[in-house]
Amino acid sequence: MSKVKMKRTGFVLDMTPLVDIAFLLLTFFMFTAKFKSEAESEQKFQIKRPKASADTSKIPDKDLAIIKIAIDSANIGDTSYYYEMTNEKDRAAVYNNAKGIDDSQRGKMQIKATLANLEELVGESRIQNPKTKFAIDADKRIRFKWLNDCMEVMRKKRATAFNLVTDKKQGM
């Protein structure tokens, strides 16, 4: 009985390996962590990307202009274009110079655009920085028409090389 009641005063557990591993993981996750861009934290919709087979090419992050085609409400039919740029200097210049954009949109990170806006923005981006790379990040549920119209705009503005953003297919 006395054995059970006894307090284990000198109980020591070696935590060193535990702490080692914890720190190892911590550093790993700290270095691999990539935070949402400001524009992304501002956006109210989420894009469900289509899945494509594994590819080694990753999305470039320098001088990138992203056209997002998203479904931004509960209604599947409501599709809109959004325009977003990673280079801050270019972004300021493009958003201020592009014609036909609502003034309330100019200060934002991400512009909700019509097709005419989009054409203006793509053209202006190419003028400000000819090295701008374009990416189309579209929701998998949208109709092809939206993508086709978008490609037509790119063609008009001579932005003929662009990227379609996809997610990696699992279990391939």
Partner 1 sequence: MAGGGTLGAGRERAKRGKPSKRKKKKRVGFVLDMTPLVDIAFLLLTFFMFTTTMTTPQIMQMFIPPQTDDVKVKCSELFTLRVRGDGKVFYNPCEDAPQYVQMKDLKKLMFDANLKLKNKLITVLKIDDNVAYDVVIRVLDELNLVEGDLVPAFQKENLPRERRFTIAPMTEKDLEEIKPL
Residues lying near partner 1 in the complex (CB under 8 A) are found at 15, 18-19, 22-23, 25-26, 29-30, 32-35, 49-55, 57-60, 69, 135, 137-148, 151, 154-155, 158, 160-168
Tokens encoding 87: 């280079």
Residue linked to tokens 């325009």:
83
Smallest separation (angstroms) from partner 1 to the CB of 171: 13
Q: How far apart are CA 97 and CA 111, in angstroms?
A: 13
| Nearer to partner 1 among residue 113 and residue 153 (C-beta) | 153
Smallest separation (angstroms) from partner 1 to the CB of 104: 29
Query: Within its chain, how far is the Cα of 147 from the centroid?
Result: 18
Burial class (CB in 10 A: 0-12, 13-18, 19+), 6: exposed
| Nearer to partner 1 among residue 95 and residue 134 (C-beta) | 134
* CA angle at 95 for the pair 93 and 97, rounded to the nearest 5°: 65
H/E stretch holding 130: none
| Nearer to partner 1 among residue 27 and residue 73 (C-beta) | 27
Q: 3-state DSSP call for residue 119?
A: helix
Smallest separation (angstroms) from partner 1 to the CB of 92: 25
| Nearer to partner 1 among residue 89 and residue 140 (C-beta) | 140
Smallest separation (angstroms) from partner 1 to the CB of 14: 11
